Amino acid sequence: MYLAQVIKNDDVKSDFYINIFEDIVKNHDSSFKVLVDDAILEAINVAKGTADIYSINNNRYFLVTTLLERFKFRLTELNSSQNIPDEVYPEILNLLK
Amino acid sequence: MWFRKTGKTQMNSNSKTGLLIKDEILDLLEKKELIIEPLLEIDQVGEITVDLRIGTDFLSLQQGRNAFIDTTTNNIKSRPIKSHYTQTRRKIGEYFLFHPNQPVLFSTLEYLKLPPNIYADLNLRSSFGRLGLGLSTIIQPGYCGCASVEITNRGNTPIRVLSGTRMVQIRFYKLDSNSEYFNKVRKYTCQVRPVPSKANEDSELVKLKSMKSK
Amino acid sequence: MDYKTIELNLCQLEESFAKSRSNIYSDFRKEEHFQELYALFQKIKENDYQKFDEQEILNHNYLLNVIFKSLEYLDNSTLNVTPYEIISCLEFALNDWIKDDDFIIVTSLSNKKTDFYLETTLSEESFELLNQFINNKYGLKISKKLIQISLPKILSRDYLSSVVLYHELGHFVDNQLNISKKMLLKKYSINQPNDDETSRYLNHTMEYFADLFAAQYVNNSSNTYLGYIAPEHPDSQTHPATRSRINVSLDFLNSKSIEIVDEFNKLLHLSSLPLLEIRHSKIDISYCNLTKLYPQNFEDVSELHYIFQLGWDIWEDAENNFLKEFSSRQRYNIVNNLIEKSISNYVVQKNWEDANE
């Protein structure tokens, strides 16, 4: 085999999420903000043990699980009943990059 | 109720042999002594015939790089007869084209199982015969499988038909004794797709060739 | 990677479209999908891609690869010998798990004897991300996802070995719904395996799920075939030992409580997905039509799935049953032909009734 794998799906998802987060950081009212906020809230709930890993939504599975794996400590500091603080988005953007 | 008899056709009780009429056919179907499946509409059973539909599998005879089809030889070095056919499948409702002078083999949609005392012959429904298509096939008593039908468009215009169309009529004839279909080795048992000619597998070919040097 | 990568991909895709445009699809959705891909390709081509930044190059490279892969699938799907019967069975099973009209199933036949698989161009998440991106950038949308079902050319009418496809469908469902990955995350707090132990855990979990998935529909026949092609295979990095795979499926079929099934079902329940359960209805072999040499009729789709087990039971006992007078080749052909026609009759009858409504 000349190449092991042409497309690494997770890299690709990461690339698209980078786009979305860059957009949110630049324009605070990005049309994707709702989608991303839902994913962050879901990750917060799982990180704090108020939601089960098994219940993670498949539509945003990569983002939620990436946050859980690499951002868990920070997630536990966030409050799922309040808006996501603005500084969180650049932090996640750096993480994805 | 699939197999309700009409009562319109009088049973021919005197005739133990010969052509089966509608109620006799329905009676056999009901008793599962005659199998025609799927029978999508009961009105496929007519007064003396049953309409059969074009199935989904076709074999078209093609002009290949070989100058002729060799029916005299069957070994690993010779080209098999089936290589002269192009196989194709259609879903029910998709069309198939009969090109002029191109023999086409197809299977009926219906799977048939005949009792040991009934044989059948197949003809085209007249609507298709009038278009220049032709066929004539006999089915042995006890046969089981889809009927393999060979049709050639003898006209000069391609003819388009839908897979699933009622194209063929089958008539059943009762014999006065049973014929054991499996008394000899059968190459075509339970076939559900058309099978290419096996003319080069005739066991007499070796014998015939040996006579040449005598 | 720079803009020249995009340029090279575009030139190669131009060739690919030139060939694929002559395809005739009997399914209009494939034609629509083709047109959507072409529209996206044209937009990218017209764009000033030389000025793309690094991120845009990465994204567009991915888009072009998706278009390539989709054309590859579409080219294969003009196949004129599509094995509709087995695909119909898989569609019935898939419909229990992923009710998604966005899928278009395409088929390819491989020259390799072991090439059974289901593959898609995009996961649900990637599909949404991709559409968000192209809608934002070009105002376009790709409305369907392709699933490619591949099976070996020489076995495309071998319904005994086709049971493997139910196992492969299990992998596909697992992958789409992140089932085994969630188990990995729960156990090791990682979303991708990172060493031999976690990789082994994920692989084995995936295999057990696929085996159980198949057992739901085709009873033990997937394991029966496994017994022919991988008898007594020991535990490996990629697969559990054949013996333990068979035991897990048998315990499941006998409704014994097993830890891994309970764990899968806990996950499926919390994910609001269907549970692993018996999804076939047994047909009594002594009364079945196959033994009288004509196709089996089915009450419903759960009986339909059981035809594979029935076929295996008849073929394995062929020396003693109604097939004993036939040669081994004829026995094999008769079983396969009758399975094919049984499935075909069920589907045709169902479609006919649907068309009447």
Give residue-wise pLDDT tens across range B121-144. 999 999 998 998 988 789 999 999
For residues C325 and B182, the answer to whether their CB atoms sit within 8 Å is yes
In a domain, A4, yes or no: no
Are C341 and B146 inside 8 Å of each other by CB? yes
Q: Which two tokens stand for residue C190?
A: 């990682």
State the pLDDT at residue A29.
66
Domains, chain B: 34-63+80-179 (2.70.40.10)
Tens digit of each residue's pLDDT (9 = 90 or more) over C203-215: 999 999 999 999 9
pLDDT at C181 over 80: yes
State the pLDDT at residue C24.
76
Are A55 and C55 inside 8 Å of each other by CB? no
* Rounded Cα–Cα distance for residues B179 and C57 (Å): 75
Least confident of B5-19, B170-184, C304-318: B5-19
Which residue has 């949609």 as its token pair? B109
Share of chain C above pLDDT 70, in %: 99
pLDDT at C265 over 70: yes
Are C65 and A6 inside 8 Å of each other by CB? yes
Touching B: which chains, 3+ CB pairs < 8 A?
C
Give buried/exposed letters for C180-213 (b at 16+ CB in 10 A, else e): bbbbbbeebebbebeeeeeebbbbbbbbbbbbbb
pLDDT at B68 over 50: yes
For residues B36 and B115, the answer to whether their CB atoms sit within 8 Å is no
Q: Which of C101, C81, C78, C77 is nearest to C91 (CA)?
A: C101
State the pLDDT at residue C183.
96
Q: Taking residues A63-76, what's their average pLDDT? A: 91
Q: State the number of CA atoms in the 13 A half-sphere of B25 facing the CB.
A: 27
Q: Taking residues C327-340, what's their average pLDDT? A: 94
Pick the residue from chain B with its C-alpha nearest to C348: B92
Residues of C in contact with A54 (CB under 8 A): 182, 186, 266-267, 270-271
Q: Taking residues B147-163, what's their average pLDDT? A: 93
State the pLDDT at residue B10.
45
Q: Taking residues B191-214, what's their average pLDDT? A: 83
Q: Taking residues A54-58, what's their average pLDDT? A: 93
In a domain, A1, yes or no: no
State the pLDDT at residue A8.
52
pLDDT at B12 over 60: no
Are C182 and A15 inside 8 Å of each other by CB? no
Rounded to an integer, what is the distance from CA B183 to the centroid of its chain? 21
Q: Which of B89, B189, B191 minimises the CB distance to C80?
A: B89
Q: Which of C128, C133, C270 minimises the CB distance to A54?
A: C270
First to last CA, chain B: 66
User: Which of the residues A19, A54, A70 would you substitute to probe the C interface, choosing the one with the greatest number of C C-beta atoms within 10 Å?
Assistant: A54
Average pLDDT, chain B: 86
pLDDT at B11 over 50: no
Q: Which of B40, B164, B189 minimises the CB distance to C330?
A: B189
State the pLDDT at residue C23.
78
Strand-pair category, C145-152 with B104-113 = unpaired
Residues of C in contact with A71 (CB under 8 A): none
State the pLDDT at residue C69.
87
State the pLDDT at residue B14.
44
State the pLDDT at residue B188.
72
Distance from the C125 Cα atom to the nearest Cα atom in chain A, whole angstroms: 5
Are A54 and C177 inside 8 Å of each other by CB? no
pLDDT at B20 over 90: yes
Higher-confidence residue of A10 and C25: namely C25
Residue of B150, B180, B201, B204 marked catalytic: B150
Q: A touches B (3+ CB pairs < 8 Å)?
A: no
Residues of C in contact with A68 (CB under 8 A): 185, 189, 191
State the pLDDT at residue C125.
87
Active site residue B150: yes
For chain A, the domain total comes to 1
The string of DSSP codes covering B48-104 is: S-EEEEEEEEEEEE---SSSS---S--STTSPPGGGGEEEEE--TT-EEEE-BT--E
* Rounded Cα–Cα distance for residues B107 and B56 (Å): 7
Distance from the C225 Cα atom to the nearest Cα atom in chain A, whole angstroms: 29
Domain boundaries, chain C: 3-159, 179-270, 285-349
Q: Taking residues B88-109, what's their average pLDDT? A: 92
- ipTM score of complex: 0.88
State the pLDDT at residue C29.
87
pLDDT at B181 over 90: no
Are C26 and B91 inside 8 Å of each other by CB? yes
Chain C touched by B109 (CB under 8 Å): yes
Which of the given ranges, A24-38, B175-189, C10-24, C163-177, has the highest pLDDT on average?
C163-177
Share of chain A above pLDDT 90, in %: 40
Distance from the C83 Cα atom to the nearest Cα atom in chain A, whole angstroms: 29
Q: Taking residues C62-83, what's their average pLDDT? A: 82
State the pLDDT at residue B183.
66
* Rounded Cα–Cα distance for residues C236 and C213 (Å): 21
pLDDT at A9 over 60: no
Q: How confident is the model at residue A6 (pLDDT cuts 50, 70, 90)?
A: very low
Q: Taking residues C86-107, what's their average pLDDT? A: 88
Distance from the C129 Cα atom to the nearest Cα atom in chain A, whole angstroms: 6
Which residue has 């198939």 as its token pair? B96
Q: C touches B (3+ CB pairs < 8 Å)?
A: yes
Domain that holds residue A54: 9-96
Least confident of A8-12, A77-81, A86-90, C273-277: A8-12
Q: Which of C58, C62, C182 minimises the CB distance to A54?
A: C182
Distance from the B214 Cα atom to the nearest Cα atom in chain C, whole angstroms: 35
Average pLDDT, chain A: 84
Average pLDDT, chain C: 91
Are C62 and A22 inside 8 Å of each other by CB? no
pLDDT at C122 over 60: yes
In a domain, A18, yes or no: yes
Q: Which of B56, B87, B144 minimises the CB distance to C293?
A: B144
